[in-house]
Amino acid sequence: MTAVLVIEDDDRIRLALLLALEEEGYTAYGAGTAEEGLRRQRETPADNVLIDLMLPGIDGFECIRQLRRDDDVPIVVVSARDDTHDIVAALEAGADDYLVKPVAVKELSARLRALRRRGRSTAVPAQVFGDLEISPEAGEVRRAGRPVAVTRTEFRLLCELAEHAGRVLSRQQLLRRVWGYDTGDERLVDVHVGRLRQKIEPDPTKPRHLVTLRGLGYKLQR
């Protein structure tokens, strides 16, 4: 049984998260302030900590630093602000992952799983797209928690797209980055994208993650 500590001052959000986590099979307990969170974590350490950045008193960044000081627990930041500065600062402080509110519970769950699996010290974090997890170092892809067998080329293609998640990559760019071709038949990319979709998309004809941008290329999105 995995225990998760949720540090979040907004009662409604905290309770919603706790409920959602319990539903997913975690043991979840909450703290309304950084102080309380730190105390609980000292007394009964959880396996994961979820933390909001904007907290009364000691703020999220400081709290992360203190948690890190005496523990190696994976810390996931949940923040309303999707700001490069905050993300960087939180990761600097020692957080392991960063989610922007509103949080999709499925995604949260997948990230927690990914975090625990890799332990918190690895260099390349697993990437999560909705119910899709990609861990470059493990060479593994999972959908809804189940491993999916992809070939090497497909995996590289997926990693490349994941690395630039949310951005269009032209067939040309993909050819260069995945295959190392400076020139070549762009249709090759189509074929592999098609094969990848068969494996990672619930309905390959209506891709949700690996989408086509007609005339531009492909993009991986959440």
Partner DNA sequence: GGGCTTTTGTCACACAACTGTCATCCAACC
Partner DNA sequence: GGTTGGATGACAGTTGTGTGACAAAAGCCC
Per CB under 8 A, residues contacting a copy of itself are 68-69, 84-85, 87-88, 91-92, 94, 107, 110-111, 113-114, 117-125, 137-140, 151-152, 163-168, 170, 173, 176, 182, 213-217, 219
Q: Which of a copy of itself, DNA, none does 138 bind, CB closer than 5 to 8 A by kind?
A: a copy of itself
Which residue lies nearer to a copy of itself by CB, 54 or 216?
216
Q: Tell me the residue type at 97.
A: D
Measured in whole angstroms, the distance separating CA 6 from the mean position of its chain's CA atoms is: 17
Question: Cβ of residue 11: shortest distance to a copy of itself, in angstroms?
Answer: 26
Question: Cβ of residue 186: shortest distance to DNA, in angstroms?
Answer: 7
Question: Cβ of residue 112: shortest distance to DNA, in angstroms?
Answer: 29
Binding footprint of DNA on the chain (CB under 7 A)? 149, 151-154, 171, 179, 184-185, 187-188, 190-195, 197-198, 204-205, 212-217
The structure tokens listed for 168 are 């269009």
Q: Which of DNA, a copy of itself, none does 197 bind, CB closer than 5 to 8 A by kind?
A: DNA
On whether the CB atoms of residues 141 and 158 are closer than 8 A, the answer is yes
Which residue lies nearer to DNA by CB, 12 or 152?
152
Q: Which of DNA, a copy of itself, none does 179 bind, CB closer than 5 to 8 A by kind?
A: DNA
Which residue lies nearer to a copy of itself by CB, 131 or 154?
154
Question: Cβ of residue 55: shortest distance to a copy of itself, in angstroms?
Answer: 22
Question: Cβ of residue 93: shortest distance to DNA, in angstroms?
Answer: 20
